[in-house]
Chains A and B, each alone.
Chain A
Amino acid sequence: MAEILRVEHLKKYFKTPAGLLHAVDDVSFSIEKGKTLGVVGESGCGKSTLGRTILHLLDSTDGKIYFEGQDITNVTKSQLKELRRNMQIIFQDPFSSLNPRMCVSEIIQEPLEIYKAYSDKKEMLRRVAELMNTVGLAPSLAGSYPHELDGGRRQRIGVARALAMNPKFIVCDEPVSALDVSIQAQILNLMQDLQEELGLTYVFITHNLSVVKHISDDILVMYLGKVVEYSSGEALFEHQYHPYTKALLAAIAIPDIDRQNERILLKGEISSPVNPRPGCRFAPRCEYCTAICRKKAPVMEEIVPGHFVACHHVRKINGMSEEK
């Protein structure tokens, strides 16, 4: 399968009064066309920043981004506009991601207006109707305003807006975390259907592990701006190598009364991403932490084929033979 997006050593630092905030620090991955990459991690670990940096909603500090083989790290304004035809985003909060003064059809047709996709107004409206149909919005809602609709319908508007210019790649920034569980399933199914129909590629950002299991082909686990584990979704849920991923997956609630889960409780708080200390980011909370973890940052290692982990003691923890 063809690779659609490749990110190499991407970094995004923010200048804050307290120092340099390492929101995304040396993240690399690639996605194949038509696949979904799930990005998981707790709040503040840089998931959303990663998505926004890929889309150039934020400027990257360092690293390279390739889209369909082309380097898009530094683009001019007009190139960026062209790029955004193909790369779109669906936002987390359907209540603030829609302009309250525009009605449904105006919101969906805005990208069409910006790219002057149709010279004929009738045809443009037809396309809007088609999009509304695609995402399952009743045509009678065309003249409604966002505040008149519920969260699920609003999120459908957001999806329709993202789809308007037929993008190839969509960053989904926690698209369901603001919705009720029943509506979450609706939107997730819609997004999966659309992926099949239109051959979309997703980067799916979420902190909800059940969601990520449901939708992802590959999974990237982030902790404080760093990738700690990266592998195919099945392999990851089968076996976790990094102590953080272990703790994270042990926290999934399983609705089964007889089953006794072994929870791994992490000590302490997530440390600050501002001017982080050298060494492994997870070290202060890790039970396997040794001197080397505090000194040297671990690099990504391919533990088993296709399964990457960044941990000094990964083999010891998992009872594998030491080989270097």
Chain B
Amino acid sequence: MAEETRKNNPNAVEDISMYKKQSQFVQAWDRLRKNKVAIAGLVILVILILGGIFAEQLAPYGYDDQDVMRRFTAPCREFPFGTDNLGRCIYSRILYGARISLLIGFVATGMGAVAGTILGAFAGYYGSKTDNIIMRFCDVLQAIPSLLLAIAIAAALGSGLFNMMLAISIGAIPRYARTVRASILTVKDQEFIEAAHAIGASDARIILKHIFPNCLAPIIVQVTLGVAGSIINAASLSFIGLGVQAPTAEWGSMLSAGRQYVRDYWFVVMFPGLAIMTTILSLNLFGDGLRDALDPKLK
């Protein structure tokens, strides 16, 4: 068809702006909206975040209000999720805990993912010596078990929320760096990268516009899984006293503190565990949907 148009009327230039679709983000959002499972994940995630933000309004008790006479109360009307070994309302603590846990999950993962992605991008794109230096650095980090590394860093920096997030994120860097480097290596040798060089695109433009969008899928998957890992690692650090200090509510530490009572009182660990599980599940659902939505090939 098009070929004929050209021959019949070589000077016809139609306005193509009407055929141009909206920006990539609008398109991706359109595709995401059609994916019910992903939207369900997003909704749950938003509810959890809102729960954390409005904890003061939603929680019937404060996170450190104790009622020692009523410790280990099973879930009832007064305490929807029961009370723990100090008689604190577990429901209220989960709401307050969402603040810290989600913060740790997102910020620690985010820092690790950003640092890892940048390092991996440099290693994969420039290759040779740069690659060698960065990847050997990652080898060193990976040689130490991530939790031990986090403990060492947290101990060196001192306890506290930010130091803990930093400790966790550093341990996560090699994973992201490796993932990004591997996918950049596969994309880098394709002809459209050479084509971009040929039309005079700068290195920054090639990395940001051509390589990065084509490497996004594995990063998203890693990040959504990484959030869960960060929350669990934070719990371990809190458990040995390097993270959030008691009585501050945090899902991981609630889980580990309740562990010794699990035989007699299921609800002490059940609800914090469910909270973590719901977060991770919703993140994975949303992450999968996001990955698909960002790929124009999957419509």
Asked if A and B bind, the verdict is yes
Cross-interface CB contact of A126 among B13, B190, B191, B205, cutoff 8 Å: B13
Whether B20 contacts A142 by the Cβ 8 Å rule is yes
6 A-B pairs closest in CB distance: A138-B2, A97-B191, A143-B21, A142-B19, A139-B14, A142-B16
Taking a contact as CB atoms under 8 Å apart, the answer to whether A103 and B200 are in contact is no
A102 to B208, CA, bound (A): 13
Write out the residue numbers on chain B whose beta carbons fall within 8 Å of the beta carbon of A128. Answer: 16
CB-defined contacts of A99 to chain B, threshold 8 Å: 192, 196, 209-210, 213-214
The chain B residue sitting closest to A115, CB to CB, is B200
Q: Which of A100, A142, A161 is in CB contact (< 8 Å) with B296?
A: A100
Task: Collect the chain B residues with CB atoms within 8 Å of residue A98's CB.
Answer: 192, 195
| Interface CB pairs A-B, < 8 A, 22 | A84-B198, A88-B199, A89-B195, A100-B297, A102-B209, A105-B16, A110-B196, A111-B199, A114-B201, A114-B202, A125-B15, A125-B20, A133-B10, A133-B13, A133-B14, A136-B5, A137-B2, A143-B20, A145-B296, A161-B195, A164-B199, A165-B199
Q: In the bound complex, do residue B20 and residue A114 qualify as a contact, i.e. CB atoms below 8 Å apart?
A: no
Identify the closest chain A residue to B205 (Cβ): A114
| In the complex, B6 has a CB within 8 A of chain A | yes
The verdict on A259 contacting chain B, using a C-beta distance below 8 Å, is no
Tell me if B57 counts as interface (CB < 8 A to partner A): no
Task: Given contact pairs A93-B191, A137-B2, A161-B199, enumerate 20 new A-B contacts (beta carbons under 8 Å).
Answer: A57-B197, A57-B198, A84-B200, A91-B194, A92-B191, A96-B192, A98-B192, A99-B214, A101-B295, A103-B21, A105-B16, A110-B199, A110-B201, A130-B13, A133-B6, A133-B10, A134-B6, A141-B19, A142-B20, A143-B20
Question: Are B198 and A55 in contact, with the CB atoms below 8 A?
Answer: yes
CB of A186 within 8 Å of the partner chain: yes
Residue of A nearest to B210 (CB): A99
Q: Which single residue of chain A is at the shortest CB-CB distance from B189? A: A96
A129 within 8 A of partner (CB) = yes
Q: In the complex, which residues 251-280 of chain A have their Cβ closer than 8 Å to any Cβ of chain B?
A: none
Q: Which residue of B lies closest to A143 (CB)?
A: B21
Q: B14 contacts which of A91, A129, A136 (Cβ < 8 Å)?
A: A129
Decide: A140 near B19, CB < 8 A? Known: A97-B191, A98-B192: yes
Cβ-defined contact, B2 with A114, below 8 A: no
On whether the beta carbons of B17 and A114 are closer than 8 Å, the reply is no
Give the residue of B19, B24, B195, B205 whose beta carbon is less than 8 angstroms from that of A139: B19
CB contacts under 8 Å to A, within B211-269, are 213-214
Q: A125-B20, A139-B19 are in contact. Are A80 and B200 (CB under 8 A)?
A: yes
Q: B12 contacts the other chain (Cβ, under 8 Å)?
A: yes
Q: Is A9 an interface residue (CB 8 A)?
A: no
**Closest partner residue, chain A, to B297 (CB atom):** A147
Q: Is A132 an interface residue (CB 8 A)?
A: yes
Chain B residues within CB distance 8 Å of chain A: 1-3, 5-6, 10, 12-17, 19-21, 24, 190-192, 194-202, 205, 209-210, 213-214, 295-297
| Chain B residues within 8 Å of A141, by CB | 2, 19
CA distance A97 to B5 in the complex (A): 26
Of listed A80, A140, A158, residue having the most chain B CB within 10 A = A140
Q: Are A91 and B195 in contact (CB under 8 A)?
A: yes
| Chain B CB within 8 A of A81 CB | yes
Q: Which residues of A contact B1 (CB under 8 A)?
A: 138
Which residues of chain A are near B191, meaning CB under 8 Å?
91-93, 96-97
Q: With the chains together, A122 CA to B296 CA distance in Å? A: 25
**A207 within 8 Å of B (CB atoms):** no
A294 at the interface (CB under 8 A from B): no
**Which of chain B's residues have a CB closer than 8 A to the CB of A164?**
199
B192-A139 in contact (CB<8A): no
**Residue ID in chain A nearest B191 by CB atoms:** A97
Measured CB to CB, the closest approach of chain B to A282, in angstroms, equals 30
The answer to the question of A6 belonging to the interface, with a C-beta cut-off of 8 Å to chain B, is no
B16 and A132 contact, CB distance less than 8 A? yes
Q: Tell me the bound Cα distance from A164 to B201 in angstroms.
A: 14
Out of A91, A114, A130, A145, name the residue touching B297 (CB < 8 Å).
Answer: A145
Q: Which chain A positions have C-beta within 8 A of B15?
A: 125-126, 129, 139
User: Is A33's beta carbon under 8 Å from chain B?
Assistant: no
Q: At the interface, yes or no: A285 with Cβ under 8 Å from chain B?
A: no
| A89 contact set on B, CB distance < 8 A | 195, 198
Q: Point out the residues of chain A lying under 8 angstroms from B197, CB to CB.
A: 57
Q: A141-B2, A143-B20 are in contact. Are A85 and B200 (CB under 8 A)?
A: yes
Complexed CA–CA distance, A52 and B20 (Å): 33
Most buried by B among A80, A100, A105, A147: A100
**B296 contacts across to A, CB distance below 8 A:** 100-101, 103, 145, 147
CA distance A133 to B202 in the complex (A): 28
- Complex CA distance for A102 and B296, rounded to whole angstroms: 9
Would B198 and A125 count as touching, CB distance under 8 A? Answer: no
Q: Nearest CB to that of B216 among chain A residues?
A: A101
Give A114 to B201 CA distance when docked, in angstroms: 6
Cα A93 to Cα B5 with chains together (Å)? 26
Q: Is the CB of A143 within 8 A of B195?
A: no
Q: In the bound complex, how far is the Cα of B277 from the Cα of A91, in angstroms?
A: 49
Least Cβ–Cβ distance between A86 and chain B, in angstroms: 11
Cβ 8 A contact of A143, one of B6, B19, B194, B199: B19
Cα–Cα distance between A101 and B23 once the two chains are bound (Å) = 12
Residues of B within 8 A of A102 (CB): 209
A101 touches B213 (CB 8 A): yes
